[in-house]
Amino acid sequence: MRDSLEPSPIPSEPAMRQKTRLIAPVLLPVIAALLPSSLPAQQETYPVPPEAVTNEDVPRGAVEGPFEFRSKIFPGTVRKYWVYVPAQYDSAKPPCLMIVQDGLGRAKGWKLPTVLDNMIHDQRIPVQLGVFVEPGIVPAPNDDANPRFNRSFEYDGLGDRYARFLTTELLPEIRDRWTFSDNPDDRCIAGSSSGAICAFNAAWERPDAFRRVISSVGTYVSLRGGDQFPALVRKTENKPLRIFLQDGSADLDIYAGSWWHANQAMLSSLQFAGYDVKNIWGQGGHNSRHMAAVVPQALEWIWRDYPEPLQPGRAKARRTDLLIDGEDWELVSEGHGFTEGPAVSPDGDLFFTDIPNNRIHRVDSEGRVSVFAANTGKANGLMFGPDGKLYACRTEDAEIVRYTIDGRMEKFISGIRGNDLVVLADGSGYVTEPDQGRLWHFQPDGATQIVDTGIEFPNGVILSPDQTLVTVSDTRGRFCLSWQKQPDGTLTARQEYGWLHVSDHVKSNADGMTGDTEGRIYVTTAAGVQVLDQLGRVHFIIRSPGTGWLSNVTFGGRNQDILYATCGSEVWKRRLNARGVRLSAPPVKPPKPRL
């Protein structure tokens, strides 16, 4: 949201002034009704920090612009941006970067050009280029119409769209004229209100691009799902971010929530998760007065210890604590078309498919990668059976085949364009067929039956360690479906059971799954590997190892404690504080879950 209506040193965006005059008669009665509750905020006064006062002995940077930019990620939008170039700028020494949402108006409201001049000169912060960018508008078609104001859509929503706008569209254009560092530790992103949650979200989605966040009166409320952030921060593997939070106790309290309480919830979650976070609370309202007074403190804190790289913090003990100190994702193999179907043989070798290249690869105990099978019919899901054979779903010719360990193939089932499958201790199993929305059961002799239909996009399939509950991921939904398995393989008690976190513009992208001895299910999704407890609740989210589609996971290693993941063109592994379950072995009863 924008700041409350009040006398303010912050000018509105030039591109929006004329249209704002057109809609002001409509908005004024509504705003007037809100004024009594915000009156205390109108009385706020703060001393001007010395860093915000022009010093004639300090060299001044230049603010260049406005420049006009048209985005493809936000179709039809036009926006302006300005670039602050410090007096110390040297193109041969790429400076740090500071991005501020809401354009030059916000930057001037914080007196940022002057503050940067003084603090860079005093060497209290590193030399940095400033980018002050407005939200987009879709221009009005005529003088009697309003533009479409894109601010809330761009700023308040979850997902990586705005981060992609910055990294793939705006910053490349700026780089045509100025240099700046590519190191994410050298980048700060800041904003106020909706611009603040936008800044945090960009760093949250892309810590490989932005790692320092300044948030003023941040809108972590339910305008477009921002109220999910406190929960996501608590559940998700830590990211190397540093966050400064400012808010006041007289901030907004309206239909979308309480800004004051939301910011406190963010602080609590960040502290719980072990983030490097600092807060300055006041008694002010939804405006920039307090922030303008503390900007120098925010900048000095956010850049302290520079150029030391930022590191992920350590969270408080979680109920599901899977991570091991010093253990991170390690690359196993790369350079493939699209990897899928990780499966571990009884002797510990890893197998995975490269679908576009029609291959199944093998990784031995020494880490050597070789081609196990070629011309695989675009094989997708893999699973070892109790017979020691590798079962594979050939999507190209709608067959399920199995390979002996020396690479000989035999046909098993025809007529199912399978995606993922699971093979149980008795030789029976289940296979998903996404393009038909079906789930199949098969017997050891190859006999098949459809056991459920009408699933939008069934993908991964897994069973509980006791082999009585079947779970299927739905790539286009937010739930994993659960059934109880009957002795003849049929299924009963279908329920949308496993609840997954999703973001704007993206389905869950739930794909492959694996399980551990505690009865937890690991689901690959757009948000990372979401770990469900036996009750279908996400306890933890392990970050994705790469930027490609996170397609599948399985456990392996001598102690079944290494999680293998296929991600885009790569395969990764990571040791966890958990042990996987081999479903081709006899069933085992997991411990009773904590309710």
Residue 226 maps to a domain = yes
Domain end among 463, 487, 504 = 504
* Angle, alpha carbons 226-147-255 (nearest 5°): 30
Q: Is residue 16 very low, low, confident or very high in pLDDT (cuts 50, 70, 90)?
A: very low
Res 25 pLDDT > 80? no
Same domain, 27 and 164: yes
The span from the CA of 33 to the CA of 165, in Å, is 37
Non-local CB neighbours of 243 within 8 Å, separated by 6+ positions: 200, 213, 215, 270, 275, 276, 277, 278
Q: Is residue 43 part of a domain?
A: no
The answer as to whether 276 is a domain residue is yes
Residue 5 has pLDDT above 90, yes or no: no
Looking at the structure, do residues 217 and 360 belong to the same domain, yes or no? no
- Do residues 91 and 232 both lie within one domain? yes
**Residues 581 and 555 sit within 8 Å (Cβ to Cβ):** yes
Banded pLDDT at 41 (limits 50, 70, 90): very low
**CB-CB contact of 439 with 430 (8 Å):** yes
Give me the domain span that covers residue 416.
330-504
Residue 22 has pLDDT above 50, yes or no: no
At 63, which CATH number?
3.40.50.1820
pLDDT greater than 70 at residue 27: no
| pLDDT for the residue 24 | 41
Do residue 92 and residue 20 come from a single domain? Answer: yes
Q: Give domain status of residue 121, yes or no.
A: yes
List the 550-556 sheet strands across, edge first.
Answer: 330-333, 570-575, 562-567, 550-556
* pLDDT of 4 higher than 70: no
- Residue 595: per-residue pLDDT: 83
Task: Clarify whether residues 80 and 170 are in a common domain.
Answer: yes
pLDDT-derived band of residue 42, with 50, 70 and 90 as boundaries? Answer: low
CATH, residue 355: 2.120.10.30
377 and 266 in a single domain? The answer is no
36 pLDDT more than 80: no
pLDDT band at 75 (very low <50, low <70, confident <90, very high): very high
Quick one: 298 and 378 in the same domain?
Answer: no
Given 486, 504, 522, the domain boundary residue is 504
| Number of Cβ within a 10 Å radius of residue 543 | 16
Q: Is-above-0.85 flag for pTM?
A: yes
Residue 235 scores a pLDDT above 90: yes
Q: Classify burial at 427, counting beta carbons within 10 Å of its beta carbon; exposed 0-12, middle 13-18, buried 19 or more.
A: middle
Q: Same domain for 187 and 108? A: yes
pLDDT of 404: 97
Q: Is residue 576 part of a domain?
A: no
What confidence category does residue 104 fall into, taking pLDDT thresholds of 50, 70 and 90?
very high
* One domain for residues 162 and 244: yes
Q: Are residues 287 and 344 in the same domain?
A: no
Residue 166: band (very low, low, confident or very high) from pLDDT cuts 50, 70, 90: very high
Domain co-membership, 380 together with 464: yes
Q: Summarize the confidence of residues 418-447 as an average pLDDT.
A: 98
Q: Is residue 544 part of a domain?
A: no
pLDDT in tens, 540-590: 999 999 999 999 999 999 999 999 999 999 999 999 999 999 999 999 999
Residue 319's pLDDT is 87
In a domain, residue 1? The reply is no
Angle between helices 289-302 and 112-121 (to 10 degrees): 30
Quote the number of domains for the chain: 2
φ/ψ (deg, to 5) at 506: -135, 135
Residue 277 is assigned to a structural domain of this protein: yes
pLDDT at 117 exceeding the cut of 50:
yes
Q: Is the pLDDT of residue 40 over 70?
A: no
Region 201-228: mean pLDDT is: 98
Q: Are residues 237 and 362 in the same domain?
A: no
Sheet strands (E) in 93-136: 96-101, 128-133
